[in-house]
Amino acid sequence: MGEFDTIDRTSSNAEKYTLRQKLFGTEAVQPMWVADMDIATPSCVIAAVQERLNHPIIGYEIMPESAFEAQMAWVSEHHTFLIRREWLSYSPSVVASIGCAIRALSEEGDEVIVMDPVYPPFYSMVKENNRRLIIHPLRQDKEGVYRFDIEVLRTQITDKTKLLLLCSPHNPVGRVWNRDELSVLGSLCLEYGIVIISDEIHSDIVFQPHSHIPMASLSEALLNNTVTLMGPGKTFNMAGFSISTVCIPSEELRSLYNEEYHRVHWGDGAALSHVAFEAAYKNGSPWHQRLIEHLNRNAQLIEEWAAKHPSICYFRPEGTYLAWLGCRALGLGDRELRDFFVQKAGLGLSPGLSFGKEGSGFMRLNFAVPTPVLTQALEQLGQALND
Ligand SMILES: Cc1ncc(COP(=O)(O)O)c(C=O)c1O
């Protein structure tokens, strides 16, 4: 079997498949929604976990220094960002880290800036922790490139605005924010004393000529004003290991975060996850390169398909394996649009509206699938559009 061939996931409790009936009202859809890949986790990760299972006790374990060092080496090599060990801590989930950082670094009633559209838990983490949302709309420029508007953002800030939740690279619009954009945004946050929580979970899924720049790597001031969230979940398709890290260079912010972290008592994580994490960052680079080639081919296929289907607007993602399909020309309401994809095209996508108001009229397609699966999906969608 080839590395990126089709694998049956219906027997493994995969959320993407198990929740089809609940989400789409039918099992008869190709699910292309939640952001994991229908692609095997790299064999170096599986082999390391299998090897660990030769030891018969899976007790409490601490996350080994070698695991943190493997991630530090990866980030230094791939993103030229030098992380010191004491800045890092374990987290079971990037979303949980967002919640923890929000509680640690702001008070109830404070305001948190979120860009719309964005990964839905950005909104819920703010609301469920009793903070207030400042929603900044991302808009497409004439070339279809999503941008934030720094002058509009400036007018939205008040003296209650304490945090910015940044999604970098951006899910769902696929932007890899460039140095100029990050600098302008970073400067604004420094000017108003707004701490940046930078979710960089998609940082390793980036296509040439773009490259990911960690917000914290831009300057000493931003290093000390940013909480960076990273993990191997997207990169190596290992979300099921529930392991990521939080990087806080500022001693002051780190100690506030640690107080909250200890209140939650996450502990040190799971033995098999530590092993998987280390193996991925240490040995996963060749696989990762092949993955990017595979995803790039799939992105290209969608681009070629979209050129023949002008009713769908497609901006090729600079990063992430998520295609943000503009469907407004179809003239359907959001519910009808979702029904059209399910009933006419047999596809289970994420509705754009679930990412915020600006996502109305869009659908998000996860193209981290074997190429024949994508080809078939595009054929079904093309057929539905023609009908
Ligand atoms: C931007 C972003 N952050 C976080 C997550 C989830 O991270 P975790 O599973 O570690 O909570 C996702 C998953 O799709 C995501 O897209």
Cβ 157 under 6 angstroms from ligand 1: no
pLDDT average, residue stretch 209-227: 98
pLDDT average, residue stretch 74-79: 98
Tokens 């953002």 correspond to what residue? 153
User: Residues of the chain with pLDDT > 90: what percent?
Assistant: 98
Cβ pair 26, 342 in contact under 8 A = yes
pLDDT for the residue 110: 98
Question: Going by CA atoms, what residue is nearest to atom 14 of ligand 1?
Answer: 35
pLDDT average, residue stretch 169-176: 98
Cβ pair 118, 171 in contact under 8 A = yes
Cβ 358 under 6 angstroms from ligand 1: no
Tokens read off for 240 = 């099921």
Cβ 199 under 6 angstroms from ligand 1: yes
Angle at 16 between CA 10 and CA 17, to 5 degrees: 30
Query: Can you tell me whether residue 318 is helix, strand or coil?
Result: coil
pLDDT average, residue stretch 308-316: 96
267 Ramachandran zone, left/alpha/beta (phi>0; psi -120 to 50): left
Q: How far apart are CA 222 and CA 86, in angstroms?
A: 18
pLDDT for the residue 266: 87
Tokens read off for 10 = 């219906």
Q: How far apart are CA 301 and CA 297, in angstroms?
A: 6
What confidence tens digit (pLDDT) does each residue in 121-130 have? 999 999 999 9
pLDDT average, residue stretch 117-140: 98
Cβ 167 under 6 angstroms from ligand 1: yes
Query: Can you tell me whether residue 39 is helix, strand or coil?
Result: coil
What b/e readout covers 169-197, taking b as 16+ CB neighbours within 10 angstroms?
bbbbbbbbbeeebbbebbebbbebebbbb
Nearest to 239 by CA among 89, 102, 45: 45
Residues of the chain with CATH 3.90.1150.10: 15-42+285-386
CA 96 to ligand 1: nearest atom? 11
Cβ 146 under 6 angstroms from ligand 1: no
pLDDT for the residue 109: 97
Ligand 1 centroid, distance to 94 Cα (angstroms): 6
pLDDT for the residue 204: 98
pLDDT for the residue 311: 96
Question: Going by CA atoms, what residue is nearest to atom 9 of ligand 1?
Answer: 93
90 Ramachandran zone, left/alpha/beta (phi>0; psi -120 to 50): beta
pLDDT average, residue stretch 57-73: 97
What b/e readout covers 326-355, taking b as 16+ CB neighbours within 10 angstroms?
bbeeeeeebeebbebbbeebbbbbbbbbbb
pLDDT band at 2, cuts 50/70/90? confident
What confidence tens digit (pLDDT) does each residue in 272-288 have? 999 999 999 999 999 99
For 293, phi then psi, to 5°, come to -60, -45
Cis bond before residue 317 (omega within 30° of 0): no
Ligand 1 centroid, distance to 329 Cα (angstroms): 30
pLDDT band at 1, cuts 50/70/90? confident
pLDDT average, residue stretch 155-161: 98
Residues of the chain with CATH 3.40.640.10: 50-283
Cβ pair 217, 179 in contact under 8 A = no
Query: 50-283: what fold?
Result: Aspartate Aminotransferase; domain 2 (3.40.640)
Cβ 197 under 6 angstroms from ligand 1: no
Ligand 1 centroid, distance to 196 Cα (angstroms): 17
Radius of gyration for the alpha carbons in the chain, expressed in angstroms and rounded: 21
pLDDT average, residue stretch 161-171: 98
pLDDT averaged over every residue in the chain: 97
CA 239 to ligand 1: nearest atom? 9
pLDDT band at 183, cuts 50/70/90? very high
CA dist list (Å): 377 to 5, 235, 298, 305, 342: 15, 23, 12, 11, 11
Query: Can you tell me whether residue 91 is helix, strand or coil?
Result: strand
Cβ 235 under 6 angstroms from ligand 1: no
Tokens read off for 66 = 């070698």
CA 118 to ligand 1: nearest atom? 1
- Asked whether residue 267 carries a pLDDT value surpassing 90, the answer given is no
Ligand 1 centroid, distance to 95 Cα (angstroms): 6
Ligand 1 centroid, distance to 1 Cα (angstroms): 29
Cβ 93 under 6 angstroms from ligand 1: yes
Q: How far apart are CA 13 and CA 45, in angstroms?
A: 20
Amino acid type, 194: I
Ligand 1 centroid, distance to 246 Cα (angstroms): 13
Q: Which CATH class is domain 15-42+285-386?
A: alpha beta
Nearest to 243 by CA among 49, 375, 113, 376: 49
Task: Name residue 166's beta-bridge partners.
Answer: 198
Ligand 1 centroid, distance to 354 Cα (angstroms): 15
- 244-247 and 226-230: which strand pairing? antiparallel
What confidence tens digit (pLDDT) does each residue in 325-334 have? 999 999 999 9
Ligand 1 centroid, distance to 230 Cα (angstroms): 10
pLDDT average, residue stretch 104-114: 98
Cβ 244 under 6 angstroms from ligand 1: yes
What confidence tens digit (pLDDT) does each residue in 26-54 have? 999 999 999 999 999 999 999 999 999 99
Ligand 1 centroid, distance to 124 Cα (angstroms): 13
Q: How far apart are CA 384 and CA 387, in angstroms?
A: 5
pLDDT for the residue 83: 98
Threshold 0.75, pTM exceeds: yes
Residues 6+ apart with CB under 8 A from 101: 163, 197, 227, 229, 246, 257, 260
